[in-house]
A and B are shown apart, each in its own frame.
Chain A
Amino acid sequence: MPEVSPMDMPDVPMGKLPEHLELQRTRVLCASDAPTHTENIQYSGAYAMMGIDNGLRLDQFCKNFRVEVIRLTEDDMEFDMIGIDPSLANAFRRILIAELPTMAIEKVLIANNTSVVQDEVLAHRLGLIPIKVDPRLFAYMSENDTPNEKNTIVFKLHVRCERGSPRITVKSDELKWLPNGSEFSLATENSTANSTSKPKTYTSFSCSQDSLPIFTDNPIQLAHPDIIIAKLGPGQEIELEAHAVKGMGKTHAKWSPVATAWYRMLPEVVLLKEIEDEKAEELVKKCPVNVFDIEDIGDDKKKAIVARPRACTLCRECIRGKEWGDLVALRRVKNHFIFTIESTGALPPEVLFTEAVKILEDKCQRVIAELS
């Protein structure tokens, strides 16, 4: 931004910020030394002296807020959120990572493990395997609860590598869902007393999970069938039962429903002056991610244009060197977020985001209820 004396500044119509202040308010300026104007001005009276209300009008927010989906696949999505404050965008990101519940293996009952993988390492590996099941169908299990069909999913793993056969790789598809709960019976003192009734196991399911309408036609399975759990040599065996419960990412990352959830502000690349001919070609060469292109403007003249600003990583290669800082400006738009969600497979990414927004609503509701 060139320095202008206050006396030479153009008149600004009422209700509008002067151009340079508007730029500082809405953009982060990325200069060759450091980014400037990185702060967000939240205070409603920040520009009161100029007769401008910086406050939030809900109807104004509703008018300006936009969402544009860029990419949506089974387990990842990218979308633009335009016209929102970073505090809210960050709240959604934090909730996605740490406060959305999923199901994950929490207890592993190992009956036999003669593999080279130690019990605790094996249990930890099992815990990290994503399970493809809607966590909203289950309840949290608190400390005093007994594991039942509403809070626990049981998987069985029994693999054996016979003597004389080659080594085998145990993959996650060997984990078999037990809709009737645990098959390991609890050791009791008087096991002969009630031999007629079912032996007590580690879970007390009142009904089979696959009799529930949701699971009859889509049985619970793991999100990926090809995750390597262990390798077995001849004569080695693993027999275990894994109990999955509902939890949140802030307790342990295995319950996080996203591989990553992140956002970046939209890069804005502006050519402050016409850049022509050799200079233009030099600029195109300078950029490692091909943000610029060359356009023919007739008479054998060429000029540089900004073709792909979204690809810009703000490496600042294009503003390196003496005069380049005056030719190209790198900025970021403060209220335009490119949001990316990578789901681990429990829920599709678009459902994850709406659930995250609902959780923030619940938090507000809780505060309102507490205070009134």
Chain B
Amino acid sequence: MEHRSFNDPSAATFSLTDEDHTLANSVRFTLNQDPRVAFCGYSIPHPSEARVNIRVQTTGDPASEVLIDACRDLMQMCQHVRSTFDKAVVDFKMSHPAEAMNIEQ
């Protein structure tokens, strides 16, 4: 859910349900790395409510677009982490065949 003023799309608060620090902190990181972002931060209004508010203020671009781009960046980073990790595991199993055998048993 997006909360913002009608005439200024460059600042908005996004309220995500069923999310916590896991996503919010990672998205805050990718948002901060975007030069279009003037301010961003997140808060969990109440600990027993599964909801997180992410505040994005930009230098002019619509905040929702910037947030989408941040999510996309995060996803691409995840994909790269996954492929690098899989490759490292395969390499390790190749170079340590004895231990790899144990894994299959």
Contacts and interface: CB of A to CB of B under 8 A. Distances in A.
A94 B86 contact: no
Name, among A42, A54, A84, the residue most crowded by chain B CB atoms within 10 Å (CB to CB).
A42
Contacts of A370: 16
A55 B34 contact: yes
B25 A87 contact: yes
B71 A368 contact: yes
Contact of A360 (B23, B67, B84): B23
Given A55-B35, A350-B89, A364 B75 contact: yes
A116 interface: no
A81 B19 CA distance: 25
A363 B34 CA distance: 20
B11 interface: no
B8 interface: no
B77 A87 contact: no
Interface stretch (A56-64, A150-158, A227-235): A56-64
A361 B78 contact: yes
A90 interface: yes
Nearest to A93: B22
A94 B99 CA distance: 28
B40 to A, nearest CB: 9
B78 A364 contact: yes
Interface string B31-50: 01111010000000000000
A87 B78 CA distance: 12
Contacts of A361: 75, 78-79, 82
Interface in A329-354: 348, 350, 353-354
A362 B67 CA distance: 16
Given A67-B84, A72-B93, A354-B85, A367 B29 contact: no
Interface in B1-43: 2, 14, 16, 19-23, 25-30, 32-35, 37
Contacts of A354: 82, 85-86
B2 to A, nearest CB: 7
A358 interface: yes
A61 to B, nearest CB: 6
A192 interface: no
A368 B74 CA distance: 11
A65 B81 contact: yes
Contact of B29 (A88, A95, A358, A360): A88
Query: Which bucket holds chain B's interface residue count?
Result: 35 or more
A299 interface: no
Dominant SS at the B interface? helix
A74 B77 contact: no
Contacts, number: 130
Interface in B78-105: 78-82, 84-89, 91-93, 96, 99-100, 102-103, 105
Interface residues of A, number: 46
B84 A65 contact: yes
Interface in A87-117: 87-88, 90-91, 94-95, 99
B96 A53 contact: no
B88 A73 contact: no
B89 A69 contact: yes
B82 A91 contact: no
Contacts of B78: 357-358, 360-361, 364
Contacts of A73: 99, 102-103
A79 B33 contact: no
A43 interface: yes
B88 A360 contact: no
A69 B91 CA distance: 9
B99 A360 contact: no
Contact of A69 (B16, B23, B28, B92): B92
Given A354-B82, A360-B22, A72 B29 contact: no
A87 B85 contact: no
Name, among B22, B37, B67, the residue most crowded by chain A CB atoms within 10 Å (CB to CB).
B22
Contacts of B82: 354, 357-358, 361
Q: Which 8 A-B pairs have the closest CB atoms?
A: A56-B33, A69-B92, A42-B32, A67-B88, A87-B29, A364-B71, A364-B75, A94-B22
Interface of B: 2, 14, 16, 19-23, 25-30, 32-35, 37, 64, 67-68, 71-82, 84-89, 91-93, 96, 99-100, 102-103, 105
9 contacts: A54-B33, A73-B103, A84-B81, A94-B20, A94-B21, A99-B22, A357-B85, A364-B23, A371-B67
